[in-house]
Amino acid sequence: MKIQNAIFLCSLLILSCSESPEKLLQKGDKLVADSQYEKAISTYQKLIEKFPEDTLAQSAQYNIAWIELDEKANYSDGLNLLSEIAEKYPEEEIGTSAAEDMKNFPNWLVSKSSELRSDTTTANSIKPLDFLAEEFPDHSIVPESLYLKGNIYLNDQKDFYRAINTYQQIVTKYKGSSFEPLSQFMIGYIHANVQTDISKARTAYRTFLQKYPEHELAPSVQFELDYLGKQINNIEDLTNRK
C-alpha cells in the first residue's frame, strides 16, 4: 500500500513538473518552432489560466499576440492583445516591448507585405497594406505602402486597372508625398506601355510635367511624351545614336 502511495505521489510530482510555467512556456515555444500554432496558443493559454500571477504568463500573452500577427495575419486581434499587454504591464519590460511594437506597427506591416510578396502568393501581401491604410490613414508611411501595393498589382498580379487606381489614390489623397510624382508617372507608363491608350498616356504625362517640372523624372516623361505610339525602330534620335 505504501509502495502504491509512493508511486501515486511520484506521478503527481511528475505531472506537476510537466505543468510548471517553465515547462508550459517551453512546450509552447517548441510548438511554434514546429509551426503548430493553434496548439501553441492552447498551451500558452493554459499557462495563463493556471499561473496568472507568474511573470511567464506575460511572455505567454506576448507570444500569442505575435502568433496572431505574424503567423495568422489576424492584425486586429494581435494589435488588441499588444494594447492589453502595454496597458496591463506599463512598468514591466514586456509592457514596454508591446508599446514599442505598437508604435512601430505601421512600418512592420509594410515589411510584412514585402516578406509575403517574396515567400507566398502575392494576394497575401495585399492584406497588411489594406489594414495599414484603413487603421492608420494619416501615418507618414501610407503613401509608400500604397505605392508598394500598386507595384504588386502591376508587376505581380498584372491587374493594371487596380494598379492605376492605387497610384491615383496616392496622387489624390497624399499630395506632397515623394510618392505622388512617382505615382503620376506610373499612371502614364501603364497607359502608354501596357494598355497602349495613347490619349490617356498623353494626359497623364502632361499632368506630370505641369505639376512636377523640376522632378528628376521630368526628362524621361518628356521623352515618353515625344515618342508616344512610335515603334523604337522608327525613333530617329535613337537610331542615330547607334
Query: What domains does the chain contain, in order, with CATH numbers?
Result: 20-103 (1.25.40.10), 134-241 (1.25.40.10)
Average pLDDT over residues 208-215: 97
What is the pTM (predicted TM-score) of this model?
A: 0.82
With a cut of 50, say whether residue 14 has pLDDT above it. Answer: no
> In sequence order, what are the residues at sequence separation of 6 or more whose Cβ sits closer than 8 angstroms to the Cβ of residue 54?
21, 47
Judge contact between 99 and 119, C-beta under 8 A: no
Question: Directed axis angle between helix 75-88 and helix 93-103, to 10°?
Answer: 140
Average pLDDT over residues 161-177: 97
Distances (CA, A) of 107 to 127, 144, 198, 202: 14, 10, 37, 35
Average pLDDT over residues 182-203: 96
Reported as a pLDDT band with limits 50, 70 and 90, residue 18 is low
What pLDDT, on a 0 to 100 scale, did the predictor assign at position 211? 97
Reported as a pLDDT band with limits 50, 70 and 90, residue 121 is low
Listed ranges 9-13, 23-27, 192-196; the one with the highest mean pLDDT? 23-27
Strands (E), the chain: none
